[in-house]
């Protein structure tokens, strides 16, 4: 009965690889932006009229470039998981990035900076997703084994 409710293994694999690839490309873009133009990144991240990073003044070039380097490292992990598509690689990526994501969320849950309520809620939701999505993607290997 349960097997009939599961999507075909090819669909599960495509969602997992696509999810890791999307996370990798996002972190590649954000990390490259932070390293190449730290002041602009600080003033305008995440874009679309939102200014989440600027809600935590003062501007610190070293901190923003280090954040960019962290995002580029995350991009390597996510893209590696998308390409390799092996349970051990996916789990290592999912758990390592969940540690970062959970600690990142924890800081922002306790420190709202100068954000308004709507920005704070959106920011925290994105951070929760960043902590939960990678291990959830890794867990999809189990669906293929069950199917």
Q: For residue 8, tell me if it sits in a domain.
A: no
pLDDT tens figures, 9-67: 899 999 999 999 999 999 999 999 999 999 999 999 999 999 999 999 999 999 999 99
pLDDT tens figures, 94-117: 999 999 999 999 999 999 999 999
Domain that holds residue 61: 57-147
Q: For residue 45, tell me if it sits in a domain.
A: no
Domains in the chain: how many in total?
1
Question: By the 8 A CB rule, do 60 and 83 touch?
Answer: no
pLDDT at site 143? 85
Q: Which residues are 46's β-sheet partners?
A: 51
- Of 129, 134, 127, nearest to 97 by C-alpha is 134
Please compute Rg for the chain using Cα positions: 17
Q: For residue 106, tell me if it sits in a domain.
A: yes
Q: For residue 38, tell me if it sits in a domain.
A: no
Q: For residue 34, tell me if it sits in a domain.
A: no
């Amino acid at each position: 009965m349960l097997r009939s409710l599961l999507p075909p293994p090819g669909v599960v694999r495509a969602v997992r690889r696509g999810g890791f690839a999307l996370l990798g490309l996002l972190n590649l873009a954000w990390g490259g932006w932070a390293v190449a133009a730290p002041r602009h990144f600080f003033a305008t991240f995440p874009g679309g009229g939102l200014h989440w990073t600027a809600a935590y003044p003062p501007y610190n070039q070293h901190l923003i470039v280090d954040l960019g380097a962290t995002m580029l490292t995350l991009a390597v992990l996510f893209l590696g998981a998308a390409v390799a598509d092996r349970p051990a690689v996916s789990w290592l990526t999912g758990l390592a990035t969940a540690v970062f994501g959970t600690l990142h969320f924890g800081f922002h849950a306790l420190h709202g900076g100068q954000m308004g309520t709507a920005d704070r809620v959106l920011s925290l939701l994105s951070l929760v997703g960043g902590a939960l999505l990678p291990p959830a993607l890794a867990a999809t290997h189990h669906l293929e084994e069950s199917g």
